[in-house]
Structure 1
Amino acid sequence: MAAKTRGARPINVMIVGQAGRLQYEAVLFAASLRATTPAGHARLFVAEPRPGPLWPGNPAMSGEVRDLLQDLGATLLPFTNRHFGQSYPYGNKIEALLALPPDEPFVFFDTDTLILDDLSRVPFDFDRPTASLRREDTWPRIELYGPGYSQIWKSLYDRFGLDFDSSLDRSWPDEYWQRYLYFNAGVFFYRCPRIFGQRFLDTALAIRDDAPAELICQSLDPWLDQVALPLVIHALGGGRGTLPAGYLDGRTSCHYRNLPLLYAREPDDVVRHLEEIAAPNRIKKILKQHDPFKRMIYQERGHKARALFDRDDLPRREQAIRNTLKREGFWLR
């Protein structure tokens, strides 16, 4: 399926919202989508976990947040955690996919994302999924006397009956992390959420409950979703180059991770966009309830943090940016 055309069915967009930080990020996301993408081009679903045995307490968003999200055009999508829940909240993105309308193309975004331009301009090929390539070598961590990248990743491809060799980017040398299919799980898409979600769920559970021996020294918390995702994308006929570069985590979306990082490293137009969509009184009233948002956006600590960095000469690794923000007292979540 090629990119959406005018008059076609709107793209289903899903984020996860729940009590705490994510509900405020959900408001920002919804406001950014509304500001950039006409209602007929995208339909926003905010997936919300129901209370249950895997979520002690109530994970529901507040009533005023729910009302605001609906006024911003979102459809609330309750779902039940049957496998993950509070012990692994990243699993929400997996289980919530099964609650989306079947047989309709979808795009999932992490809630800590801003939409910067009309989403329907992205030339999605929904038959060939991919995910964000804005990532670092976070997994696996190679031990001195343990298996290397090839052995670890091949064990996973073999576990699921997938062709390992065809997943490799041979422009990178053997045992260098970028040779292997690895994504940031902050955005991904496909032609059917049920097919993608079931494959994602089955793969993640198999890795969690019966991992190959080569993973014995590897942590899967919080990396389980990012370990399973490339296997799912490869199995469904996707890969690295199925979307032209520069759209997702580029001119169309910004996965900012948290506001201190946004102010530290993102371009001026992203900061202006953030502050414009956060300015209306009804949105400001909600966002100021979350202390990091109140301090960074409305008390202008974000601009003080921004002044610590040269956007043309940022540290190569994100951890160095985090360390500076922490040292100067700007690391707020």
Structure 2
Amino acid sequence: MTTRQPFNIMIVGQRGRLQYEALLFVASLRARAPSFAGRVIVAEPQPGPLWPDDPRIEPDIAEALIELGAEIVPFHGNHFGAAYPYGNKIEGLATLPPGEPFIFFDSDTLILDDIGAMPIDFTRPTASMRREGTWPQEELYWPGYTAIWKSLYDKFGLDFESSLDTDHPDEYWQRYLYFNAGWFLGSDPQAFLARFLDMSLAIRDDRPPELVIQPLDPWLDQVALPLVVHSLGGGRPGPELDGLDGDITCHWRLMPLMYARESDKAIAVLEEVSAPNRIKKHLKKHEAFKRMIYQSRGQKVREMFDQDDLPRREQQLRNRIKSAGFWIR
């Protein structure tokens, strides 16, 4: 049922860019979501054979996260590691308590409004629809969308036809269940983890013949995610969750893209929550935040674009920002 029950939030945090993104995420949550009553778990990968460099969060950033009420919970990456860091969002689900509703967010997300007040049906898993047709990729000898997606559903014994959006024509990418893995939710993170891990590894290690020329890096998580959601009885999010791709949360991805295309509200929240010195003294150590936010280069990027008439594809945004000399990761 749809309810305002408490739920937990998980993000991944690790040394480098993600630790600063995690701090910004938690700062925005605390500032903009006063009714959020769940736990904020920062899943932290630990050193091991798959992480040649220590991935743990730097102590001063960890302290700042804890002061904001986040919990840093370690996990061991046994299947992906540095070779496929997107796998952290899969293996990191181990840090969440079983049987408690959850939302995973990519760390490059900003909370814009009171997410705790949203009515969410956690019994029906779903994920972000803010995506482009990035996979599968059209190739000279490819078998087509239907053949590729159907081979995956068949591999796991799932009903393919019921996953289709028949408002779109055959062989058009939006007909097929496909998400951005920037957020996903469910009622039991451990059930989600088991299914996500099993399916991802099965696709990676024993792909159907129809996928033989398809790239899986970095798309593996987004290839498996629709199958996970569908197999757990979920599907496309309803209109009641539109805010998770709009007014409630903003998956900004990279600072130059944030300033180029996101809403005035998102930019205002970004600059508001990054301004206090207890946050600023950490974020300014990250070059992209320093240049874009604190040296105001982001506003120069914003002036380059009409946010009501943006280029259709993200690559066009990137190219224009790079040509102007403002691109930074």
Could you state the TM-score of these two structures normalised by the residue count of structure 1? 0.97
Letter in 1 for 2:38: A
Counterparts of 1:144-159 in structure 2 under 5 Å? 144-159=140-155
State the alpha-carbon separation in 1 of the partners of residues 231 and 140 from structure 2: 31
Give the match for residue 326 of structure 1. 322
Equivalent of 2:31 in 10, 23, 35: 35
Q: Contact 1:98–1:193 (CA<8 Å) still a contact in 2? A: yes
Give the match for residue 3 of structure 1. 3
Give the match for residue 79 of structure 1. 75
Q: Is residue 2:300 matched to residue 1:269?
A: no
Q: How far apart are 1:245 and its partner, in Å? A: 4.7
Letter in 2 for 1:315: P
Equivalent of 2:173 in 167, 174, 177: 177
Q: How far apart are 1:28 and its partner, in Å? A: 0.4
Task: Please give the per-residue CA displacement for 1:11-49, whole angstroms capped at 9, x wherever unaligned.
Answer: 100000000000000010000000112265232100000
Q: Secondary structure at the match of 2:184?
A: strand
Q: Is residue 2:66 matched to residue 1:70?
A: yes
**What is the aligned length?**
329
Q: Is residue 2:115 matched to residue 1:119?
A: yes
Q: Contact 2:33–2:114 (CA<8 Å) still a contact in 1? A: yes
Q: Is residue 2:223 matched to residue 1:227?
A: yes
State the alpha-carbon separation in 1 of the partners of residues 141 and 285 from structure 2: 49
Q: How far apart are 1:282 and its partner, in Å? A: 1.3
Letter in 2 for 1:200: F
Letter in 2 for 1:291: E
| RMSD, aligned α-carbons | 1.0
Q: How far apart are 1:247 and its partner, in Å? A: 1.1
Task: Please give the per-residue CA displacement for 1:48-77, whole angstroms capped at 9, x wherever unaligned.
Answer: 001000101210111000000001110011
Q: Secondary structure at the match of 1:244?
A: helix
Give the match for residue 310 of structure 2. 314
Q: Contact 1:41–1:119 (CA<8 Å) still a contact in 2? A: no
State the alpha-carbon separation in 2 of the partners of residues 40 and 146 from structure 1: 46
Q: How far apart are 1:99 and its partner, in Å? A: 2.1
Give the match for residue 53 of structure 1. 49
Give the match for residue 134 of structure 2. 138
Task: Please give the per-residue CA displacement for 1:124-177, whole angstroms capped at 9, x wherever unaligned.
Answer: 111101111010010001212221000000000000000000000000000000
Task: Please give the per-residue CA displacement for 1:106-130, whole angstroms capped at 9, x wherever unaligned.
Answer: 0000000001111122221111011
Q: Contact 2:261–2:310 (CA<8 Å) still a contact in 1? A: yes
Letter in 2 for 1:330: F
Q: Secondary structure at the match of 1:271?
A: helix
In structure 2, runs of 5+ residues without a counterpart are: none
Give the match for residue 252 of structure 1. 248
Q: How far apart are 1:254 and its partner, in Å? A: 0.2
In structure 1, runs of 5+ residues without a counterpart are: none
Q: Contact 1:125–1:242 (CA<8 Å) still a contact in 2? A: no
Q: Contact 2:35–2:117 (CA<8 Å) still a contact in 1? A: no
Q: Secondary structure at the match of 1:303?
A: helix
State the alpha-carbon separation in 1 of the partners of residues 238 and 121 from structure 2: 7
Give the match for residue 187 of structure 1. 183
Q: Is residue 2:187 matched to residue 1:215?
A: no
Q: Secondary structure at the match of 1:76?
A: strand
Task: Please give the per-residue CA displacement for 1:66-96, whole angstroms capped at 9, x wherever unaligned.
Answer: 0000011100110000100000000000001
State the alpha-carbon separation in 2 of the partners of residues 63 and 284 from structure 1: 16
Q: Secondary structure at the match of 1:48?
A: strand
Q: Secondary structure at the match of 2:240?
A: coil
Letter in 2 for 1:261: L
Q: Contact 1:155–1:214 (CA<8 Å) still a contact in 2? A: yes
State the alpha-carbon separation in 2 of the partners of residues 45 and 38 from structure 1: 17
Moved more, 113-122 or 157-166: 113-122
State the alpha-carbon separation in 2 of the partners of residues 93 and 316 from structure 1: 28
Counterparts of 1:79-98 in structure 2 under 5 Å? 79-98=75-94
Q: How far apart are 1:244 and its partner, in Å? A: 2.2
